[in-house]
Amino acid sequence: MQVTQSVRFGASILIVFNLLMSFACIWIFTRMAPVIDKINARNNRSLQACEEMLSALAEPPAPLALQRFRIALNMASGNITETGEPLALRQIRANYEAAFRGDITARTATLEGINRISEANRLAMIKAADEARQLGYAGAWGVVFMAIILLFAGLVFKRRVVRNLAQPFEEINAVIDARHSGDRLRRCTGAGLPRDVERIYSGINEIIDHEGER
């Protein structure tokens, strides 16, 4: 029957939109997670190396402090993520030994290089956080848009069910109640109905007419 097919189609549309909304939410969270991991892993490691180098420079000159500085410098060198880091690292390598020997100019140059690495990674973290935020906003609005479409589809589906199923059942029930009350003239009527419903109305009316002829 066309009415049954229409109901099944409408229900299928609602199910599909619900699935799409679920997958959209999953996609948003799976896209945001790598961005957050990038913030916590790549740039945070470089910032940690900068903190270690600054801490070593703040200590009195000693072989242990110099060793700590070299370990942190190697950590930063092995975790280059931003375009300005290689130049800053070369500047640090060219000056840090003289800085530990007490050369003020070399110390200033070393601190400048460390600050450049720190600033580059801090800006990258801010940018990555903005990207994650924008992705979240876009995903949220996408879900809202799909929810609006789902609401519209639900209203259309409800209207079709009421028009094609609920109202015809109410009409048939009204005719049956009228027959039980002694009304022999009441018939199933309606305009703009699906052909399946019209055929059912015609069949019911024919049965009533045949019973009236007896």
Profile the chain (214 residues) by mean pLDDT over runs of 10 residues: 57 71 69 63 84 89 88 89 88 92 92 92 83 76 76 78 79 85 83 81 84 61
- Local structure of residue 165 (DSSP, 8 states): I
Res 122: pLDDT:
87
Tokens 């961005």 locate to 35
Euclidean distance between the first and the last CA atom of the chain, given in angstroms as a whole number: 32
Model pTM? 0.57
- The percent of residues in the chain predicted with pLDDT above 70, rounded, is 82
DSSP string, 46-96: HHHHHHHHHHHHHSPS-HHHHHHHHHHHHHHHTT--STTHHHHHHHHHHHH
